[in-house]
Structure 1
Amino acid sequence: MRRRTGLAIAGVAALAWGEWLNWRWSRGLVGHGGGASEAVVVLGYRNPQSTANLINRWRVRAGIRSIAADGEHGTCVIFSGGATSSGATEAQLMADYAKSVLEFDGTVLLEDQSATTWENITNVIPLLEDVDRIKITSQPAHALKARAYLRRQRPDLAERLVRADDYRPGEWMVVKPLLAVYGLWTLRGLKADERKVLL
Structure 2
Amino acid sequence: MRRRAGLGVAGVAVLAWGEWLNWRWSRALVGNRVGASEAVVVLGYRNPQSRANVINRWRVRAGIRSVAADGARGTRVIFSGGATSNGVAEAQLMADYAKSVLAFDGMVLLEDQSATTWQNITNVIPLLEDVDRIKFASQPAHALKARAYLRRQRPDLAERLVRAADYRFGEWMVGKPLLALYGLWTLRGLKAEERKGSA
5 Å matches for 1:27-176? 27-67=27-67, 68-71=69-72, 73-176=73-176
Does the CA contact (< 8 Å) of 1:24 and 1:197 recur in 2?
no
Structure 1 position 70, deviation (Å): 2.6
2:22 maps to which residue? 22
Give the Cα separation in 2 of the matches to 1:69 and 1:129: 21
1:12 maps to which residue? 12
Give the Cα separation in 1 of the matches to 2:192 and 2:12: 28
Q: How many residues align?
A: 197
Structure 1 position 69, deviation (Å): 3.8
Structure 1 position 50, deviation (Å): 0.2
Give the Cα separation in 1 of the matches to 2:187 and 2:197: 15
Give the Cα separation in 1 of the matches to 2:71 and 2:64: 13
What letter matches 2:71 in structure 1?
D
What letter matches 1:9 in structure 2?
V
- SS of the residue corresponding to residue 97 of structure 2 reads helix
Does the CA contact (< 8 Å) of 1:30 and 1:163 recur in 2?
yes
Give the Cα separation in 2 of the matches to 1:161 and 1:126: 15
Structure 1 position 197, deviation (Å): 4.5
Give the Cα separation in 2 of the matches to 1:95 and 1:101: 10
- SS of the residue corresponding to residue 174 of structure 2 reads helix
Give the Cα separation in 2 of the matches to 1:165 and 1:148: 18
Give the Cα separation in 1 of the matches to 2:35 and 2:74: 11
Does the CA contact (< 8 Å) of 1:78 and 1:109 recur in 2?
yes
Give the Cα separation in 2 of the matches to 1:10 and 1:145: 29
Structure 1 position 165, deviation (Å): 0.1
Give the Cα separation in 2 of the matches to 1:151 and 1:56: 24
What letter matches 2:34 in structure 1?
G
Give the Cα separation in 2 of the matches to 1:196 and 1:2: 37
Q: Percent identity?
A: 84
- SS of the residue corresponding to residue 135 of structure 1 reads strand
Give the Cα separation in 1 of the matches to 2:164 and 2:16: 21
| Cα-Cα RMSD | 0.9
Structure 1 position 2, deviation (Å): 1.5
What letter matches 1:39 in structure 2?
A
Structure 2: state its 5+ residue gaps: none
- SS of the residue corresponding to residue 141 of structure 1 reads helix
Greater than 6 Å deviation, 4+ residue runs: none
2:187 maps to which residue? 187
Give the Cα separation in 1 of the matches to 2:71 and 2:16: 33
2:196 maps to which residue? 196
TM-score, structure 2 as length reference: 0.97
- SS of the residue corresponding to residue 82 of structure 2 reads coil
Structure 1: state its 5+ residue gaps: none
1:177 equivalent in alignment to 2:181: no
